[in-house]
Every structure is written in C-alpha cells, then in structure tokens.
Amino acid sequence: MFSEKEQKSTQEKLEQLKKVKEGIWTFQWLSNLITQRRIRWVQEHLDEMLTKYNGLTPEEQAYKIIFLDYMNINPEHSKMIRISPRKIKIESYNFCPYLEACHHLGLDTKHICKDIGEPSIQGMVEIINPNLRFSRNYSNIRPNNDFCEEYIELLEPKSNDSILTSFNQLTETF
C-alpha cells in the first residue's frame, strides 16, 4: 500500500511518538528536535531555493520550498489557493507519516500537528521571510476531513516606531 520511503518515514514517526506517549520524551523536546532539523535544511538550501523560485511572492516561495522541496509532496496532492493578496490557503491531500503514526498509536492529529508540526513549519517560514506566518484550521484536518487546511500569510513588516515601542516596553519591565 505504501512505498518503502513512506513506510520508513511512518516508522520513524511511530518511534518518535511512542517515546512521547511513554514519557521518555516530552512534546516540547520532540518539537524542538524536528524544528532544528527542518530549520537547518532551510538554512542549507535557502539561496538555491530562492533562486529557483525567484519571481514568486514570499508566501508562494515558502509553500514550494517547504511542501514541494522539503516534504517532497507531489503537487497533484497539494492545492495552493490564493485567498488574498498576501495570503494563500493550502489543501494537503498527500501521504502524511504523522497521520499514519497517529492512527496506529491512537493519538489525535490535532494535538500532534499543533504541538509538534506547527512550530517547525513556522520556524521554516520565518527563515524564508521573517514576516511570514503559518497556521492551520484544526477544524479541517485529517482524518476528520479529506485534506488538511493550512495557510501561509505575509504580514505587514513592523515599522521602526513599533519595534522601538516594543523594545522600550520590554526594557521597562527589567
């Protein structure tokens, strides 16, 4: 049913999530491990990827770099829809090793994706562009939906005035 690569990926996720379920690792520890690995990949490939996707908007670049290049998702299994000038919606129908591992272990994908997956993808988008934000609609993720609904949005950059105000507020508390 699954390719050898998909089986290997699912097995890796099963082993990781078993360690969390058994209390050997915390959710935070596993999230940090995955985030570090993913951020390292983006840092190592960023120049090449930005050249490859030159001419696309930052949110489209992030989608292609993360979903197509890093995760190797077949573009036929992932649909990108522009919903505003600065925001895209992603409908992911692809094979997902976390979905499979959660099914085998009786874990809720909402919890696993929120606590383990989302921080790493947010870290990746911030390396691509610090003004990008990743989010999911947890009412529309698998297995309770046919696809996972995700978003990448380009936020307005903070002005120097708001950065200075934030800094001043922070330093006043010390």
Q: What is the pTM of this model?
A: 0.87
| Helix or strand (DSSP H, E) at 9 | helix 4-21
* Domain assignment of residue 79, given as a range: 4-172
CATH classification at residue 87: 3.30.1380
Compute the average pLDDT of residues 131-158: 95
Quick: pLDDT tens for 98-124: 999 999 999 999 999 999 999 999 999
Quick: pLDDT tens for 27-56: 999 999 999 999 999 999 999 999 999 999
pLDDT at 171: 55
Total domains present in the chain: 1
Cβ contact 79:150 at 8 Å: no
